[in-house]
Amino acid sequence: TKTQNFCRNEYNLTGLCNRSSCPLANSQYATVREEKGRCYLYMKTIERAAFPRRLWERVLLSKNYEKALEEIDENLIYWPRFIRHKCKQRFTKITQYLIRIRKLTLKRQRKLVPLRRKIERRENRREEKALIAAQLDNAIEKELLERLKQDTYGDIYNFPIHAFDKALQQQDAESESESDAEREEDDEDDEDVDKREFVEAEDSELSDFEDMDKLETSSEEEQEEEEEVEKKASHSKSKGKTPLKGPARRKRPYIEIEYEEETEPSTKTKAA
């Protein structure tokens, strides 16, 4: 393929640097140019070659496409075929791109905002530091525990230890604070001991499963908890009693709800 140079002259008709399309090389020349959306036909004749200021004659073309083509033909009558043809071609192209501009301005323009590298880097670094400072997990856990304390969850979660302690504190409100604390600690210890005993003694698989089922259907219907129950039941079925102490202890909240209520009076008598 033949490569061609571009012509830098603004009055050039085709844009390429040829002998036939150079405005400097030809004394009779014409171009179509547009200014602010209107197209003009520029003509150069040999008679005005001595007057550079009046060299290029400008004719405004009509906005109507066909009429403008006729006007070009009128003005360039008896001119070489090449120039006439190229003028009309150029005019067509110009009108097409003007139409496109008008259509695009009606649509939404995408505004390109340049990124500033230094600022981006700075913001990324600050974000990392902020993330470390935020300690999100701790903050979320703290907030959830606070909400639990303030009873926003109502009756869904029973942690009888808390309630038991509260009841104890109310009972022993008359005696001194120190003995209170001691008693509470003792009671807690007794409780723990009792709890442990009970878990070991009544750790039969069937009763666990039944009780857990009752618990689930009564309060919540959740897949996850049922899964946990099943897991626990399967654990109890597969392993013996002693290895169960681990997961049993971890899952105490669920079991305890049952047993503690039954045995509360006995522990109280023991404490007294």
Partner 1 sequence: AADGGRPVPGDGTDPPAPERVLFPPTFSVSEIKNKQRRHFMFVRWKQQQRKEKLALKKKRRKEREALGDKAPPKAIPKTIENQRVYDETTVDPNDEEVAFDEATDEFAPYFNRQTVPKILITTSDRPRGRTVRFCEQLATVIPNSHVYYRRGLALKRIIPQCIARDFTDLIVINEDRKIPNGLVLSHLPDGPTAHFRMSSVRLRKEIKRKGKEPTEHVPEVILNNFTTRLGHSIGRMFAALFPHDPQFIGRQVATFHNQRDYIFFRFHRYIFKSEKKVGIQELGPRFTLKLRSLQKGTFDSKFGEYEWIHKRREMDTSRRKFHL
Closer CB to partner 1, residue 3 or residue 105? 105
Closer CB to partner 1, residue 10 or residue 137? 137
Residues lying near partner 1 in the complex (CB under 8 A) are found at 107-108, 119, 123-124, 126-127, 129-131, 133-134, 136-137, 139-141, 143-145, 147-148, 153-154, 156-157, 159, 161-162, 220-222, 250, 252-253
Residues 6+ apart with CB under 8 A from 84: 30, 72, 73, 76
Distance of closest approach, residue 87 Cβ to partner 1, in angstroms: 37
From residue 40, how far is each of 45, 65, 127, 138 by CA, in Å? Answer: 16, 13, 57, 73
Distance of closest approach, residue 166 Cβ to partner 1, in angstroms: 11
Distance of closest approach, residue 136 Cβ to partner 1, in angstroms: 6
Distance of closest approach, residue 80 Cβ to partner 1, in angstroms: 47
- Contacts of 212-219 with CB under 8 Å at 24 or more apart are 212/254, 215/254, 215/257, 215/258, 219/156
Distance of closest approach, residue 130 Cβ to partner 1, in angstroms: 4
Closer CB to partner 1, residue 180 or residue 228? 228
Q: What residue type is assigned to position 61 of the chain?
A: L
CA distance 171 to 174: 8
Residues 6+ apart with CB under 8 A from 58: 40, 41, 42
**Residue-level length of the chain:** 272
Distance of closest approach, residue 119 Cβ to partner 1, in angstroms: 7
Give strand pairing partners of 58. Answer: 42
Closer CB to partner 1, residue 67 or residue 129? 129
Closer CB to partner 1, residue 28 or residue 158? 158
Q: Alpha carbon 69 to chain centroid distance?
A: 54
Closer CB to partner 1, residue 34 or residue 225? 225
CA distance 123 to 116: 11
